Amino acid sequence: MLFTSITFAFFLLAVFILYWFGFSRNLKLQNLFLLVSSYFFYGWWDLRFLLLLFFISSSNYIIAIGIQKIENNLFRKSLFITGLIINIGTLVIFKYFNFFMDGIVHAISLIGIKANLQTFNIILPVGISFYIFLSLSYIIDCYQHKLSAVSNFFDALLTFSFFPIILAGPIQRPISLLPQIQNKRIFNYDKAADGLRQILWGLFMKIVIADRCAVHSNLIFADSSTYAGSTLILGIFFFTVQIYADFAGYSNIAIGIGKLLGFNIMQNFNFPYFVRDIREFWKRWNISLTTWFRDYVFLPIAYYVSRNIKSDHFYLIKAEFLIYTVGIAFTWILTGLWHGANYTFIIWGLFHGFFLIINHVGAKPRKRLLKRLNIRNDNIMLTIVDFLVTFIIIMLSWIFFKADNLGHALSYFSGIFSLSIFTIPVIIPKVTLLLIAGFSIVEWMGRGQEYAIAKLGSNWPFLVRWAIYYGIILLIFYFGGSEQQFIYFQF
């Protein structure tokens, strides 16, 4: 049941009506109805997935209560570690088992030993990476006394299965989601109307922009060896636009649905391509995931390394640089691996980690150089150069993300960096380029808002404003001939 399907539209309408007009007087019944709706939505993909979701949710519910009630530190820690093993172990088995088995076989073969380790045709449950991270943050926060374990079993189940966010986020942590579940929600017309606008924009991003770009990026990547460098650049440009419009579109729809139901779901994208450096990009792209890795991976690793370094230098390396580098390296290897069991994702993560380190190291020298040259940081030419360099780095990184394997990625790179880059692209879809141009203008105009059309035309005449909305709806129906899955469903 895709967010972009007619089936989901009827499902959401039914949920909305019963949620507000049938169960709003009783919070427990309202939450129970929302839980049943969430399980129905998730089970629509595959009923077998529900058993795993229920197992993970129930385990975390029991473990968190135990962590809170047990006073013996050893038992408490053992229970916490058990929770980590259950969550991480489940993710590893379903997502990485065959990847690690293949890696072991390859490593053994390098020393001349032939191995035939068993692999299995394991189905990857949709959304598993997202609800496992929800579960991990729940038990970690309970263990660190940042969050009290929820006593109501159904509230706990709902926390891990809330249907707007279970498939592809945002990763709304229980520390902020649980209070909203436990407190009465009152219908707010302005909030609901805002939610509908955000859903509308999310549908436009996915159906009109992302799916349109996908046609061209898939075509070029599928047969990249036959195209000139100029066409390959166009192919990765289309994918760069596609993945943003696809994922941010999903997030906008999810957040908008949350608003319809009286929930505040965190902003997940903040116009990430309008930035001047890679660090700022990662403050604005998939915010819920990057902040999760920051809080639960980077900061603990940085703290551990800093605690074990007793001086300002470690073998002639500045301690501050070493702490940051080690933290970034581990964080971005795991970030890449989180996206999929493929070496391309690990390289993609290291690629971004490398440029984050470059940005970190070069920040002070850049500042001194600009001061010496008497150039203000907000200089228009400098801003344009920064934007172009950053955008090119981001665009090149998506090659690893999109490619089937490392060989495909390297072949794509070699095709770009050849003399054929100066030829005219074979594929020039004018309609798609015009749509991207219009989309970019609207995004730029609305970059100071939560989403691009949040306040678009708010001071304009009623008829003009609604003409824009109907225009967007017409474009959605015109280009919405086929349903295409969201990219992040595979993660």
Residues tagged active-site: 339
- The single-letter DSSP state of residue 206 is I
What are the Cα distances from residue 16, in Å, to 12, 22, 37, 258, 262? 6, 9, 11, 11, 10
Which residues are registered as beta bridge partners of 317? 314
Distance between CA atoms of residues 236 and 151, nearest Å: 49
What is the helix (H) or strand (E) element at residue 98, kind and residue range?
helix 73-109
What are the Cα distances from residue 37, in Å, to 14, 43, 399, 429, 488? 10, 10, 38, 41, 22
Distance between CA atoms of residues 97 and 86, nearest Å: 15
Question: What residues contact residue 326 under an 8 Å CB cut-off, 6+ apart?
Answer: 301, 302, 305
- CA–centroid distance for 226 within its chain: 32
Give me 266's structure tokens.
Answer: 């965190």
Report DSSP letters for 305-358, one per residue: HHHT--SSEETTEEHHHHHHHHHHHHHHHHHHHHH-SSHHHHHHHHHHHHHHHH
